[in-house]
Amino acid sequence: MAPGPGNYAAFDKWHLKEHRDWAKAGRPLLNPEEVRESEAWLDLHGKGLPDVATRAKYADAHWGSRLEGWHADASRMDVEGAWSSLRGLYRYVYRRGSQATHSHHRGLDPFVTVSESRCELHRERVPEAKAVWEIAPRILLFGIGPSEATIGWPSYVAAREIVQRCLE
């Protein structure tokens, strides 16, 4: 049994776990047939899809050798091109984005100001816009490259030139 179109997430053990959590609250994410298919597929294939970081690494290995400017091996953040890999961007986005959802003191940083005499709680300060301008064009490019290589449109070269101008 293979995942059907648009149904790949259901074959991920984490998505099935999320469905079960929401089903307990009366808000299931999958219908009964999708649950049966997911369970059967996972029984047959083991743990299911790799975690997101591993999938990003596989995508980098595949597309990095096919598309100029996409780095195939950015396993460390100090490697030139880490920002030009899905694994590097995942590492940055996940670590920064997950701080507020996981039990970690850094997750409170945007909501707290500490001085010598007091600790002030407040609404989140406006994040530095530069990070968005650095990440968003690269993420867009990661979608355009495989699209052109697969269906011939849009132009990856033209998109890469636009992204380079955005980042100057």
Task: List, for residues 56-114, the tens digit of each pLDDT value.
Answer: 888 888 988 888 878 877 666 666 667 788 888 887 777 766 765 665 566 667 778 88
Taking Cα atoms as reference points, which of 109, 157, 97, 168 lies closest to residue 133?
168
Q: Are residues 60 and 81 in the same domain?
A: yes
Q: Which residues of 99-135 are buried (b: 16+ CB within 10 A; e: fewer)?
A: eeeeeeeeeeeeeeeeeeeeeeeeeeeeeeeeeeeee
At 5, is the pLDDT very low, low, confident or very high (cuts 50, 70, 90)? very low
Residue 151 has what pLDDT?
92
Q: Please tell me whether residue 162 adopts helix, strand or coil conformation.
A: helix
How many structural domains are present in the chain?
A: 2
Q: Are residues 19 and 57 in the same domain?
A: no
Q: Are residues 37 and 102 in the same domain?
A: no
Average pLDDT over residues 116-125: 82
Is 1 domain-assigned?
Answer: no
Average pLDDT over residues 41-60: 81
Indicate the pTM of the whole model: 0.54
Residue 103 has what pLDDT?
58
Contact between 65 and 58 under an 8 Å Cβ cutoff? The reply is no
Average pLDDT over residues 19-31: 91
Q: Phi first, then psi: what are they for 64, rounded to 5°?
A: -60, -30
Between CA 136 and CA 154 the distance in angstroms is 17
Residue 45 has what pLDDT?
75
Is 2 domain-assigned?
Answer: no
Report helix, strand and coil shares of the chain as percent, to nearest 5: 60, 5, 35
| Distance from the Cα of residue 85 to its chain's centroid | 11
Q: Are residues 33 and 60 in the same domain?
A: no
Q: Are residues 84 and 152 in the same domain?
A: yes
Q: Are residues 111 and 149 in the same domain?
A: yes
Q: Are residues 124 and 154 in the same domain?
A: yes
Q: Please tell me whether residue 117 adopts helix, strand or coil conformation.
A: coil
Q: Please tell me whether residue 154 adopts helix, strand or coil conformation.
A: coil
Q: Are residues 14 and 59 in the same domain?
A: no
* Residue 144 Cα distances to 86, 160, 168, angstroms: 13, 9, 20
Residue 93 has what pLDDT?
76
Residue 26 has what pLDDT?
92
**DSSP annotation of 76:** S
At 165, is the pLDDT very low, low, confident or very high (cuts 50, 70, 90)? confident
| Domain extent for 27 | 8-45
Is 3 domain-assigned?
Answer: no
Q: Phi first, then psi: what are they for 2, rounded to 5°?
A: -120, 150
Residue 32 has what pLDDT?
92
